[in-house]
Amino acid sequence: MREGKLKVNSDWNRDLKVKFTVQDPCQLVRKSLGDPIAEDLRFIVKTIVGEENFVDMAPNRSNNFCCGGGGGFLQSGLPEARRYYGRLKFEQIKATDADYCITPCHNCHSQIHDLKEYNQGKYETVHIWTIMCLAMGILGENERTYLGPDLVDVNPYPS
């Protein structure tokens, strides 16, 4: 994006004003590349959804709370404990009032999606590539599984 190879912007969301937050993956940020990659993540998200439509969770970046999907918790056969662990993450997402939580990590995606279903939350859980392709107008019908009713028909492709 910085080299101009990916021409992507947030025009699609200028009037829609759909709000996004992002889960900083522990593995990517705190445990690997630190706050600089958290800044890269925000650069990408703000570019594709619009800076005014991005709301950070608190705490965030290296201080972010784990969602409870990591370390094998999703496969451990301890769903009650996992969802108790995740209640803080659910509350943090809820507090942003975001319509979507972008999860750059596979485990975060599964856990945050499950927390929404379990707690009957109102946010949707999406991979970053889904919103990037939506913004570029190249997201096909079958690539919209995780979009909510508000976005499922936005920027259809092929148009």
Partner 1 sequence: MASEVIEIKKQAKSTFKEEVMKILPEGGNLNLCLTCGLCSSGCPATGLEDMDPRKFLRMASLGLDEEVLNSNWAWMCTMCQRCLIACPMKIDIPALVFNVRNRWPKETQPKNIRGSCDMAFKNETCSAMGASEEDFKFVVEDVLEEYQEAQLEFAEMQAPIDKQGAEFFLNQNSREPVTEPDEMVPLWKILDIVGADWTYGSKGWAAENYCLFVADNEMWEKNVRLKAKAVDDLGCKVWLNTE
Distance from C-alpha of 24 to C-alpha of 38, rounded to nearest angstrom: 7
Cβ 124 to partner 1 shortest distance, Å: 15
Cβ 41 to partner 1 shortest distance, Å: 14
Cβ 144 to partner 1 shortest distance, Å: 9
The smaller minimum CB distance to partner 1, of residues 40 and 143, is found at 143
Q: Residue 59: count other Cβ atoms within 10 Å of its Cβ.
A: 11
Could you tell me the two tokens for 69? 């999907």
The smaller minimum CB distance to partner 1, of residues 52 and 71, is found at 71
Could you tell me the two tokens for 126? 């999406």
Cβ 157 to partner 1 shortest distance, Å: 7
The smaller minimum CB distance to partner 1, of residues 18 and 139, is found at 139
Residues that bind partner 1 (CB under 8 A): 5-6, 26-27, 30-31, 62-66, 68-73, 75-78, 81-82, 84-89, 105-106, 127, 129-130, 132-133, 136, 138-140, 142-143, 145, 157-158
The amino acid at residue 12 is W
- The per-residue DSSP string of 83-137 comes to HHHHHHHHHHHHHHT-SEEE--SHHHHHHHHHHHHHTT-S-EEE-HHHHHHHHTT
Distance from C-alpha of 60 to C-alpha of 151, rounded to nearest angstrom: 26
The smaller minimum CB distance to partner 1, of residues 47 and 130, is found at 130
The smaller minimum CB distance to partner 1, of residues 33 and 52, is found at 33
